[in-house]
Amino acid sequence: MAYEVNGVTIETNDAGYLVNLSDWNEEVCKVIAAAEGITLTDKHWDVVNYLRDEYINNNGNQPMERVIMKAMAEKWGNKKLSSKEMYELFPFAPSKQGLKVAGLPPTNRKGGY
């Protein structure tokens, strides 16, 4: 599997995750999101940017869903988020589908918590 972005082929693994972290940019993100059936909103970008920051600047950290929800609750005004709200953004799990859209490797962790 691969993504075509502005005439460039972006290599992925069989599950659609980028092979090279450095291939990711906002245009690639939009193409991956579209392939996942997601129309990116500001909230999607907040999650994507958070996941990338955690992975790149925190020794490969891939936060579990409770941690993502807590971080987004703080970012979006200290409101308590529900799993349902996060799954409305990323129906196949923020900690898995979110990583894919963010151009990061898949997590090996089982489950969302």
> Per residue in 5-54, pLDDT tens?
999 999 999 999 999 999 999 999 999 999 999 999 999 999 999 999 99
- β partners of residue 2: 11
- Domain layout of the chain by residue ranges: 2-101
What CA–CA distances, in Å, run from 10 to 1, 40, 56? 9, 20, 20
Single pTM value for the model: 0.92
- pLDDT band for 111, please (50, 70, 90 cuts): low
